[in-house]
């Protein structure tokens, strides 16, 4: 055994890595030192990627990584590297691409076996113990007996990964037309579940980036079919067990098509984005139910994920300890009928009808997952109970059950702070403020931004990607900058001050200097000087989180409009043109690009609101759903292009502009709204 061959994860700061610190597997963290160790030992590397809230990661740990027999095989043949995908999204993206090329699918835990230099030659996800041991023995012996064959395959696979990550654009790429966007929607509609909402089939992910785009598209195109789909989705998601009916907040995804049985892990990024989605939906449809969902997400965030310094933690685990002292998925959130009857007493009958404590709501092992089949006002008619009385009864039940649940062992908390996810939360909270007018949302957004400013932004404007217990992690990735720029723009629009839009421009220029790849006309995921992987990923497809390149393209468009910077807008146009074929073929995976395309193909307006009372007036304007409209408020004189020479200290003015060319100002909100309606 080599002297340095031991489990070294106790040195790490990631909760996920620390969970594995006592495994008999000789885990290392990802580093150049670990790769050097593999080269000196002439061993392949086994890369295991997961995250703290991942249920199947815990299952595989219990079945395999805690087993001395399995660990013996892993230690004999490999240098074993454990990676927190949230801490190192660059490593995760690179090897997920490899696994998808090799197997056609992906997921977590993800496993890759690679040469000591990092070039992969085998990959997969979850494996049962016996299968895992057999695979590892076979791969370990193959490495010894036929290394040239492995090196040849690894070389070809690496070429394939590099081809995906380095795809130079054609010299001329036309912008997508409105007909292209309509055709993309036509190709998308057959996959929309008009009964249950979301995408047809199971599992079901919420995909807020898709919902945000469809809200905008249906508003601009007056598409009643998409409107119906949106309203159904926005109702069904929080009616099912995906939504925590007691404490608020969404789980990561539904395992069934009805949103009933969730995968119980609760992620910051989902809830942050859904705050924005429901805020936009409220501004468009004015349904008070959406305000209730925003309030529930807010309650979840401050109760379960808010740190003492204003930072937001990453996630709650899917698993927790049940009444039998065993680790069980969903134990914290599910109930037996006997428990509910004992706690709720005479209110149980009504509660059971509303939340389906019956065959429909049954899950497994005697447990029920709460879900509603209809809006409360409709249930009140069906049950012949006045709605105020029904609400009062259900609120009493909720308080009792929440009190009882607080006595249960809580799911484990991943208490690391991720810059990109916190920035998403700032954006979500600010949109909730714009929609509702409730100051608590903005106050929390500004508190979180102060934390990022003081802890995550380094003196040289570089960002840290993670923070936990006084320690910052690696240099930030493109997603950190892209989402923080978006958050700064949103705070500026909400009237929080020019410093935010100036910071957004400063961060954007830093990204252009350090992440932009001239050949591809796209941004690399890691900065030029910070990537030590075999290939630097280029993230272009939107997923549960929008692609960092699509976010940057939209940031460039917005900053170009505010600052009159043609270079920003030209680059956004180039990036969008490159993606035309992709979103025509796979619109579901490119919604944020489609959103940007609407800015070019439908009337787009900038509204500069200046003078005394400008912020209050702009907030009243932004209570409305303003698709393809950018609101820029200022109560002081400014040299920013869209505001320059448009300030009068004596009068409130609304300038409606297109490409920096503005109409004569109007002086009341009503006149501004009338002009906007005429323009669209």
φ, ψ for residue 4 (rounded to 5)?
Answer: -90, 5
For residue 114, give both structure tokens.
């690679």
Judge whether 458 and 480 are in contact, CB under 8 Å.
no
DSSP state of 589: G
For 206-242, what is each residue's pLDDT tens digit?
999 999 999 999 999 999 999 999 999 999 999 999 9
Nearest to 119 by CA among 81, 154, 159, 83: 154
Q: Could you tell me whether strands 522-523 and 516-517 are parallel, antiparallel, or unpaired per DSSP bridges? A: antiparallel
Which distant-in-sequence residues (6+ apart) come within 8 Å of 623 by Cβ? Answer: 283, 434, 435, 437
Give residue 105's pLDDT band: very low, low, confident or very high (50, 70, 90): confident
398-425: buried (b, 16+ CB within 10 Å) or exposed (e) per residue? eebbeebbeeeeebbbbbbbbbbbbbbb
CB-based contact 69:22 (threshold 8 Å): no
What's the gap between Cα 231 and its chain centre?
Answer: 21
Q: Which of 407, 424, 456 is the last residue of a domain?
A: 407
Please check whether residue 191 is in contact with residue 229, taking contact to mean a CB–CB distance below 8 angstroms: no
Cα 389 to Cα 86: distance, rounded to the nearest angstrom: 45
Using DSSP's 3-state secondary structure scheme, residue 488 falls into: helix
Instruction: Encode pLDDT of 592-621 as tens digits.
Output: 999 999 999 999 999 999 999 999 999 999
Question: Do the Cβ atoms of 288 and 295 come closer than 8 Å?
Answer: no
Domain that holds residue 139: 9-165
Distance between CA atoms of 449 and 446, rounded to whole angstroms?
5
Q: Is residue 538 in some structural domain?
A: no
Domain boundary residue, one of 381, 407, 433? 407
User: Of all helices (H) and strands (E), which one includes residue 319?
Assistant: strand 319-321
Percent of the chain whose predicted confidence (pLDDT) is above 70:
98
DSSP 334-396: -EEHHHHHHHHGGGHHHHHHHTT-STTTB-STTEE----SS-HHHHHHHHT--HHHHHHHHHH
In a domain, 376, yes or no: yes
DSSP annotation of 666 reads B
Pick from 675, 613, 606, 618: nearest CA to 643: 606
Cα dihedral across residues 158, 525, 431, 650: positive or negative: negative
Query: Residue by residue, what is the 3-state secondary structure of 599-614?
Result: HHHCCCEEEEEECCCH
pLDDT at 660: 81
CA gap 77, 44 in Å, rounded: 7
Indicate the pLDDT class of residue 334, thresholds 50, 70 and 90: very high
Both tokens assigned to 99: 């696994």
CA-to-CA dists, residue 137 to 73, 120, 442, 574, 615, angstroms: 7, 17, 56, 49, 66
- Whether the upstream peptide bond of residue 109 has omega within 30° of 0, thus cis, is yes
- Distance, in Å, from the CA atom of 266 to the CA atom of 274, rounded to the nearest integer, reads 13
Q: Write the DSSP symbol of residue 453.
A: I
Q: Is 223 left (phi over 0), alpha (psi -120 to 50) or beta?
A: beta
Cβ atoms of residues 635 and 558 within 8 Å: no
Q: What angle do CA 588, 594, 598 make, to 5 degrees?
A: 150
HSE-CB at 506 with a 13 A cutoff on CA atoms is 13
Residue 172 has pLDDT above 90, yes or no: no
Q: How many helices (H) and strands (E) does the chain have?
A: 26, 24
What are the φ/ψ torsions at residue 174 (nearest 5 degrees)?
Answer: -70, 150
H/E stretch holding 55: helix 55-60
Predicted confidence (pLDDT) per residue in 339-387, tens digit: 999 999 999 999 999 999 999 999 999 999 999 999 999 999 999 999 9
Query: Taking Cα atoms as reference points, which of 243, 255, 265 lies closest to residue 411?
Result: 265
Instruction: Name residue, tokens 């007493």.
Output: 345
**What is the structure's pLDDT at 168?**
64
What pLDDT does 169 receive?
A: 65
Token couple for 508: 């954007």
Q: Mean pLDDT throughout 519-547?
A: 90
Q: Give yes or no for a contact between 314 and 52, defined as CB atoms under 8 angstroms apart.
A: yes
What is the phi/psi pair of residue 111, to 5°? -130, 135
Q: How confident is the model at residue 677 (pLDDT cuts 50, 70, 90)?
A: confident
Is residue 607 a contact partner of residue 629, using CB atoms and an 8 Å limit? yes
Q: Which element (helix H / strand E) includes 216?
A: helix 208-221
> d(Cα 452, Cα 456) in Å, to the nearest integer?
5
**What b/e sequence results for 308-327 when a residue is b if at least 16 CB atoms lie within 10 Å of its CB, and e otherwise?**
eebbbbbbbbbbbbbeeeeb
Asked if 112 and 95 count as a contact pair (C-beta separation under 8 A), the reply is yes
Q: For position 2, what pLDDT does the model report?
A: 42
The rounded distance, in Å, linking the Cα atoms of 10 and 338 is 43
Q: Under 8 Å CB-to-CB from 283, ≥6 apart: which residues?
A: 434, 435, 622, 623, 624, 625, 626
Cβ–Cβ < 8 Å for 205, 193: no
- Residue 386, Cβ neighbours under 10 Å: how many? 11
Dihedral (Cα; 248, 250, 256, 259), 10-degree rounding? 50
d(CA 402, CA 171): 60
Number of domains the chain contains: 3
Task: Give me the mean pLDDT over the 651-679 stretch.
Answer: 91
Domain-located, residue 419 = no
CB 312 within 8 A of CB 301: yes
Sign for the pseudo-dihedral over CA of 441, 447, 448, 450: positive
How many residues are given for the chain?
680
**Alpha-carbon separation of residue 1 from 47, 144, 424, 651 (angstroms):** 20, 17, 46, 79
The chain-wide mean pLDDT, for the chain, equals: 94
**Span 639-653, mean pLDDT?**
94
Q: Which of 146, 165, 184 is the last residue of a domain?
A: 165
Residues 242-273: tens digit of each pLDDT: 999 999 999 999 999 999 999 999 999 999 99
Structure-model confidence comparison of residues 464 and 323, the more confident one? 464
Residue 434 domain flag: no
314 lies in a domain?
no
Q: pLDDT, tens digit, for every residue of 6-62?
A: 899 999 999 999 999 999 999 999 998 999 999 999 999 999 999 999 989 999 999
- Name the DSSP class of 10: G
Report residue 110 as tokens.
């993800």
Is there a domain that residue 29 lies in? yes
User: Is residue 337 included in any domain, yes or no?
Assistant: yes
3-state percent breakdown (helix, strand, coil) of the chain, nearest 5 = 50, 15, 35
Q: Does 59 fall in a domain?
A: yes
Could you give the CA distance from residue 36 to residue 31 in angstroms, rounded to a whole number? 9
């Amino acid at each position: 055994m080599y002297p340095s061959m031991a489990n070294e994860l106790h040195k790490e700061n990631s909760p996920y890595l620390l969970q594995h610190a006592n495994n008999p597997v000789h885990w290392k963290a990802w580093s150049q030192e670990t790769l050097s160790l593999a080269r000196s030992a002439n061993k392949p590397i086994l890369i295991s990627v997961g995250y703290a809230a991942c249920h199947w990661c815990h299952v595989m740990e219990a079945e395999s990584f805690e087993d001395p027999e399995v660990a013996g095989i892993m230690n004999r043949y490999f240098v074993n590297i454990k990676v927190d995908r949230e801490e190192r999204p660059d490593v995760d993206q690179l090897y997920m691409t490899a696994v998808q090329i090799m197997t056609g699918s992906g997921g977590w835990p993800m496993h890759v076996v690679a040469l000591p230099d990092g070039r992969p030659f085998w990959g997969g996800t979850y494996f049962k113990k016996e299968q895992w041991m057999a695979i590892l023995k076979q791969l370990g012996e193959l490495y010894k007996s036929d290394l040239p064959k492995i090196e040849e395959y690894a070389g070809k696979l690496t070429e394939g990964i590099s081809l995906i990550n380095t795809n130079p654009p054609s010299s001329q790429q036309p912008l997508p037309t409105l007909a292209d966007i309509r055709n993309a929607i036509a190709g998308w509609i057959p996959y929309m579940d008009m009964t249950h909402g979301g995408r047809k089939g199971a599992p079901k992910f919420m995909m807020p980036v898709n919902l945000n785009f469809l809200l905008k598209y249906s508003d601009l195109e007056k598409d009643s079919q998409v409107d119906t789909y949106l309203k159904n989705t926005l109702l069904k998601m929080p009616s099912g067990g995906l939504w925590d009916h007691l404490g608020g907040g969404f789980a990561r995804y539904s395992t069934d098509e009805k949103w009933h049985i969730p995968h119980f892990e609760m992620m910051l990024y989902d809830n942050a984005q859904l705050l924005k989605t429901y805020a936009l939906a409220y501004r468009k449809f004015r349904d008070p139910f959406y305000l209730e969902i925003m309030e529930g997400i807010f309650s979840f965030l401050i109760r379960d994920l808010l740190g003492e310094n204003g930072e937001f933690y990453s996630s709650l685990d899917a698993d927790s300890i049940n009444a039998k002292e065993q680790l069980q998925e969903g134990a914290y959130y599910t109930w037996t009928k006997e428990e509910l009857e004992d706690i709720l007493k005479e209110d149980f009958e009504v509660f059971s009808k509303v939340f389906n404590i019956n065959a429909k709501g049954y899950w497994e092992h005697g447990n029920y997952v709460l879900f509603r089949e209809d809006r409360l006002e409709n249930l009140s008619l069906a049950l012949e109970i006045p709605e105020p009385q029904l609400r009062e009864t259900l609120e009493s039940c909720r308080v009792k059950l929440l009190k009882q649940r607080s006595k249960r062992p809580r799911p484990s908390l991943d208490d690391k702070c991720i810059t990109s996810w916190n920035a998403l939360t700032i954006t979500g909270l600010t949109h909730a403020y714009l929609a509702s007018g409730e100051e608590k949302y903005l106050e929390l957004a500004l508190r979180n931004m102060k934390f990022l400013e003081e802890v995550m932004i380094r003196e040289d404007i570089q960002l840290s990607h993670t923070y936990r217990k006084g320690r910052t992690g690696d240099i930030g990735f493109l997603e950190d900058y892209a989402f923080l720029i978006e958050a700064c723009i949103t705070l500026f629009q909400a009237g929080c001050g020019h410093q935010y839009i100036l910071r957004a421009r400063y961060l954007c220029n830093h990204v252009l200097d350090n992440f932009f790849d001239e050949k591809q006309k796209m941004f690399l995921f890691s900065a030029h000087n910070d990537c030590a992987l075999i290939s630097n990923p280029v993230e272009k497809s939107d997923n549960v989180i929008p692609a960092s390149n699509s976010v940057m393209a939209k940031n460039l468009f917005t900053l170009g409009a505010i600052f009159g910077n043609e270079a920003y807008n030209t680059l956004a146009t180039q990036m969008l043109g490159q993606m035309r074929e992709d979103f025509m073929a796979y619109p579901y995976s490119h919604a944020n690009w489609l959103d940007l395309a609407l800015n070019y193909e439908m009337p787009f307006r900038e509204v500069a609101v200046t003078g005394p009372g400008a912020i209050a007036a702009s907030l009243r304007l932004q209570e409305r759903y303003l698709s393809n409209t950018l609101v820029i408020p200022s109560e002081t004189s400014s040299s920013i292009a869209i505001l320059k020479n448009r300030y009068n200290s004596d009068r409130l003015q609304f300038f409606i502009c297109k490409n920096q060319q503005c109409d004569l100002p109007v002086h009341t909100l009503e006149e501004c709204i009338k002009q906007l309606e005429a323009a669209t």
